[in-house]
Amino acid sequence: MAAGRTREAEEESRRVLALDPVSLIMNVHLGWHFIYARQYDEALTQFRKAVEADPNYGLAYWYSGLAYEQKGMYDDALREMRRARQLLPENAVIDSDIGHLYAVAGRRREAAAVLAELERKRARSYVSSFERALIHAGLGEKEKSLSEMEQAYKERSDMLVYLGVDPRLDPLRSDPRFQQLLRRIAMPH
């Protein structure tokens, strides 16, 4: 998926899921694929299957929140992400995704509070600059977002492999600096 081979990624996910149709992680994985393929209703269908199998499977709620966010259903997205945070506490990535959600939903004060909390966490443990870049992107702060992405590149953040497909980064795609970063990490775009 990260390499832009969407059809192949879906085929592989479906093949594995056919071998183990009740696999929670594979249902969520296929749903995650659909998010990056911008097929949000299909994603939500997969996540519901995982929740039906295990109502305490945090990843299904987390990624459901991402899909709802892309559909502009911010209240539903926040409900799902908050449930994920309950099930997966102390996760800076969930926190940053909630911060991004606040930002795109126009809740700037809450997004700023998440940024501040990530900075506090950063004093105690590693928090990827990518997480802050994502919130700045949601706030429309292109310069700050690109600066944080540059730092994430120096940190060798694993999330950078998804730059070419993450829909939350669409507002940055036309910027030459973003395109240059894609070339440097050698990802198709």
User: Which is nearest to 113 in space by CA: 9, 167, 160, 121?
Assistant: 121
Domain, as residue range, for 52: 1-89
In a domain, 97, yes or no: no
Residue segments in the chain with a per-residue pLDDT below the cut of 70: 187-189
CATH code at position 50: 1.25.40.10
Q: Do 120 and 169 share a domain, yes or no?
A: yes
Q: Which two tokens stand for residue 96?
A: 């940053």
Whether residue 131 contacts residue 163, with contact meaning beta carbons closer than 8 Å, is answered with: no
Domain end among 55, 89, 123: 89
Q: What is residue 21's predicted lDDT score, i.e. its pLDDT?
A: 85
Q: Do 85 and 109 share a domain, yes or no?
A: no
Q: At 110, which amino acid appears?
A: E
**Domain count within the chain:** 2
Q: Do 176 and 148 share a domain, yes or no?
A: yes
Q: Do 61 and 116 share a domain, yes or no?
A: no
Q: What is residue 188's predicted lDDT score, i.e. its pLDDT?
A: 56
Q: Do 126 and 71 share a domain, yes or no?
A: no
Q: Do 137 and 173 share a domain, yes or no?
A: yes
In a domain, 94, yes or no: no
Alpha-helical regions (H) of the chain = 6-19, 24-36, 40-53, 58-70, 74-87, 92-104, 108-124, 129-138, 142-155, 176-184
Domain end among 89, 113, 135: 89
In a domain, 137, yes or no: yes
In a domain, 12, yes or no: yes
Q: Do 42 and 117 share a domain, yes or no?
A: no
Q: Do 186 and 114 share a domain, yes or no?
A: yes
Q: Do 115 and 171 share a domain, yes or no?
A: yes
- pLDDT tens digit sequence for 63-89: 999 999 999 999 999 999 999 999 999
Q: What is residue 36's predicted lDDT score, i.e. its pLDDT?
A: 93
**Contacts of residue 99, Cβ cutoff 8 Å, sequence gap at least 6:** 110, 111, 114, 115, 118, 131, 134, 135, 138
Q: What is residue 187's predicted lDDT score, i.e. its pLDDT?
A: 60
Planar angle of CA 109, 146, 159, nearest 5 degrees: 90
Q: Do 122 and 189 share a domain, yes or no?
A: yes
In a domain, 10, yes or no: yes
Q: Do 83 and 18 share a domain, yes or no?
A: yes
Place of tokens 């730092």: 151
Q: Do 15 and 74 share a domain, yes or no?
A: yes
